[in-house]
Structure 1
């Protein structure tokens, strides 16, 4: 039997960052992941947005999460000699005079913690961009090449033997006071579920209020559209280089369609035509399921009655921004019992666990 400190189940952005942090701290880590090309992390555009939504609200804990994430991804760039993180400004277009006035009125109270660099009420003249009402320039965010990042980590894991490309069967986990044994062949002090939306089928954590939703994105080619920033109005338009952009994303609640849909393609194409009058060609379309949570906060921490099991996930559409800081937060708890933020701890939902359920 092989001994490890930690078994990490899942190698999306949550599991990959946690496994990386634990390995960098000298722990013996084994990761199980079946390798799904359509996972939420592999489909995502990797947007890190400090101010989001129709209410133009500051993202949860943005002042701490964004700088931490940026430094983390730059560290990985140095390690793998590959570009992952693009610290690109975001231009959020106003859709009307009413929206323009509402944001300007809010700006008097400085509610955005310095992440709004400039507000403009006139068209900034960006090539190919239709912005007659102006918009807000956001700083401190950007986007991450998530698929490429996970591929680099997975290649290392396959080479060095800490990543196993296989599904994990939770029914083969046996726990005791000192840790857990998996399938009679692997022993670890702790097992961490980082399965994303698939955690709704986990026998130990299915009681958590995960509310998965499906999202689709388009990859388009649009010659002449400005690539110097991310555009955002009803959809994000993320520059991928060489005149290609990722446009997304849709939100669909269960029941989910199988794979990509014509409805989502039409919806996203229509949203793009609001941003630009330029012709474009759809070069690709992908769909994935996000691991959202009822209160839009992550779920982190130990199982309430099985101390050798923990959960890390529920990141929704903000996984790229959340994952690095929350990985270190959970690693601190695993090492020394350090406090997990109450608004991120799964303990806030312990009352939902049915009586008699493990």
Structure 2
């Protein structure tokens, strides 16, 4: 039975922030709490959205649905927040070598070309770009504060009775939450470096075993690394070396390193998010978006809100009900 109590969203990373904006659009009363004791990996995100994935140049899962929605969502959100953080930008993928070029040309008839333009030395990807996640989160926090719905506060279970339901948007911190740590997360630590150089293009994202992303301030980011053996919030020498190697492989020889960013992606073993409310209690989750948070979270936040309102059921591929056996008594 519904009460007049608000929902509580726990965590103000990219997932919690995007879900909060959808709650506002749907006029669902809620609060959003962000723990001061958790480091927020979303601030380190590269923020790239790209409808083509992998060496086979395959359309990413649900590309048509995701990318139709994310453009309108972020463009409207910029207006709401009076801020700029959404940067559509072509992405260029040069062929790694002659053998890879020939392999792709041989299978070209099997490749979907909706988002691709082929050139002699590589392919251009359309409807790509990036979101300045840190800027989005800062402006959203200020906006939520102005509405009186944001608190920097750690959720405790004894707080649950004050809310209609608790939706956990904790990113990789959910792996330490006793209620959710049974879920098959596969977190991956990643590092990026911000740098200055006069060598890369400022007009596109370069994607070649990594990426170089031009930033509005004239600098760039290079990324990203993946490791699964430790999850501290600190940079590592081996990852720094790997990033500098990526710069060299992408033709950048003269640069000044400025800043390192460290985050832990809340990836999952089946590569699908965890979304929805559990049956029989007031707990829900919006998590597991991995490295694709900026492209996946808007579409599934919309879907989650529709499910909460009873308008539409969640896609079984993302619904938390696929793991209901882990929560049965």
For Structure 1 versus Structure 2, the TM-score category normalised by the shorter chain is over 0.9
Give the C-alpha shift of residue 213 in structure 1. 1.3
Following superposition, the deviation at residue 305 of structure 1 comes to: 4.1
Question: How large is the RMSD of aligned CA atoms in angstroms?
Answer: 1.9
SS in 2 for 1:348: helix
Superposed displacement of residue 346, structure 1: 1.8
Partner of residue 241, structure 2: 266
Aligned to 2:269: 294
- 1:337 deviates by 5.6
* TM-score normalised by the chain length of structure 1: 0.87
* Whole-Å separation in 2 of the counterparts to 1:35 and 1:317: 23
Match 1:228 to one of 203, 206, 210: 203
- Equivalent runs, 1:136-155 vs 2, <5 Å: 136-155=123-142
CA contact (8 A) 1:238 1:246 kept: yes
Q: 1:37 to 1:120 in 2, by over 3 A?
A: farther
Where 1:157 maps in the other structure, the secondary structure is helix
- 2:158 is aligned to 172
Q: Which residue of 2 aligns with 1:128?
A: none
Q: Is the 8 A contact 2:39 2:233 kept in 1?
A: no
Please name the residue that 1:341 is paired with: 315
1:51 aligned residue: 52
For 1:321 and 1:19, the matched residues in 2 are separated by 16
Residue in 2 that maps onto 1:311: 285
Q: Given that residues 67 and 140 in structure 1 are in contact (C-alpha distance below 8 angstroms), is that contact kept between their aligned partners in structure 2? A: no
SS of residue paired to 2:284 = strand
8 Å Cα contact 2:93/2:208 also seen in 1: yes
Question: Matched residue pairs, number?
Answer: 327
Alignment of 1:4-153 (within 5 A): 4-35=5-36, 38-112=39-113, 114-116=114-116, 118-121=117-120, 134-153=121-140
Deviation larger for 341-350 or 139-148: 341-350
SS at match of 1:344: coil
CA shift for structure 1 position 206 = 1.8
Is it true that 1:248 corresponds to 2:243 in the alignment? no
Among residues 155, 159, 163, which one is paired with 2:146 in the alignment? 159
Q: Which runs of 5+ in 1 are unaligned?
A: 122-133, 174-179, 182-186
Maintained 8 Å contact 1:38/1:287: no
| Secondary structure of residue in 2 paired with 1:143 | strand
Stretches of structure 2 that go unaligned for 5 or more consecutive residues are none
Query: Shift in Å at residue 3 of structure 1?
Result: 5.9
For residue 101 of structure 1, give the secondary structure of its aligned residue in structure 2.
Answer: helix
Go from structure 1 to structure 2 and tell me whether the alpha carbon gap of 1:11 and 1:43 turns closer, same or farther (over 3 Å shift): same
TM-score, reference length from structure 2:
0.94
Distance 1:99 1:202, change over 3 A: same
Higher alpha-carbon deviation: 286-295 or 98-107: 98-107
Equivalent runs, 1:175-186 vs 2, <5 Å? 180-181=160-161
Contact 1:225 1:243 in 2 (8 A): no
Distance in structure 1 (CA, Å) of the matches to 2:140 and 2:243: 31
> C-alpha distance in 1, partners of 2:126/2:101?
19
134-143 vs 202-211, greater mean Cα deviation = 202-211
| Superposed CA offset, 1:128-164 (max 9, x none) | xxxxxx1110001210011001100101122322010
The alpha-carbon deviation at position 278 of structure 1 amounts to 3.9
From the superposition, tell whether residues 99 and 334 of structure 1 become closer, same or farther in structure 2 (CA, over 3 Å).
Answer: same
| Mapping 1:179-198, distance limit 5 Å | 180-181=160-161, 187-198=162-173
Q: In 1, Cα distance between the equivalents of 2:216 and 2:199?
A: 12
Cα 1:316/1:107, change in 2 over 3 Å: same
**1:19-61 C-alpha deviation (Å, 9 max, x unpaired):** 1111122121100102579522110111001112233322110
Asked if the contact 1:216–1:264 (Cα under 8 Å) also holds between the matched residues in 2, the reply is yes
